[in-house]
Each structure stands twice: as structure tokens, then as C-alpha cells.
């Protein structure tokens, strides 16, 4: 069993409060979970309303499947016009 972890630094430019940020992140998290069956959570920058760091985790026995799934999640998030991916890292344990 192997674990795939992807950490993404997001910019959320059109927000003016933590409530706006929460609405955008919640919507994004629901859509990612629904489409990819992964775990996702905001792990850093909870007090910043224009930035967020999220972590996505998935488990599989096939390493290439983990990388492929996490790559598709990143592409999916890139298509959301409400957020900008500033940086991301992917690793398999």
C-alpha cells in the first residue's frame, strides 16, 4: 500500500473576507472529493483570506496510478477560475 500526497499553494484573488474564502474552498473540496475520491483539507494559511495551502491524499497499491490521480486533481483545480495555483509538490510514500 502506498500513499500519495499533493500539497498545493493557492492564491484566491477575488476574496475580501474569510467567509468568501471558506465558500470557495468548500465548493472546491466537495467537487474534488466527488470527482476523484480523495481526501482534501486546508492545512496552512487558515487565517489568510487571499491564500490557502491545501493537501490532497490518496491511497493505492500502484505508484503510477497515484501520480496520475494527483496530476488530474491539480489539472482540475487549475480549471477553477476562482483560484490560482502558485506552487505544488507531489510525493509518494
The domain limits of the chain are 2-92
pLDDT in tens, 24-76: 999 999 999 999 999 999 998 878 889 999 999 999 999 999 999 999 999 99
Close Cβ partners of 7 (under 8 Å, ≥ 6 residues apart): 43, 53, 54, 55, 56, 88, 89
For residue 12, which phi and psi values (nearest 5 degrees)? -125, 85
pLDDT of residue 45: 83
Superfamily of chain region 2-92: TT1725-like (3.30.70.1120)
Close Cβ partners of 13 (under 8 Å, ≥ 6 residues apart): 50, 84
For the full predicted model, state whether its pTM sits above 0.75: yes
pLDDT of residue 51: 93
Cell numbers given for 16: 475580501
pLDDT of residue 49: 84
Pairing of strands 2-11, 39-44: unpaired
Q: Is the pLDDT of residue 86 over 90?
A: yes
Amino acid at each position: 500500500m502506498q500513499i500519495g500526497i499533493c500539497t498545493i499553494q493557492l492564491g484566491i484573488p477575488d476574496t475580501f473576507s474569510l467567509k468568501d474564502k471558506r465558500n470557495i474552498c468548500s465548493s472546491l473540496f466537495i467537487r474534488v472529493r466527488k470527482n476523484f475520491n480523495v481526501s482534501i483539507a486546508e492545512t496552512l494559511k487558515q487565517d489568510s483570506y487571499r491564500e490557502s495551502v491545501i493537501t490532497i491524499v490518496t491511497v493505492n497499491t500502484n505508484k503510477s496510478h497515484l501520480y496520475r490521480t494527483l496530476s488530474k486533481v491539480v489539472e482540475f483545480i487549475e480549471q477553477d477560475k476562482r483560484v490560482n495555483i502558485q506552487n505544488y509538490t507531489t510525493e509518494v510514500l
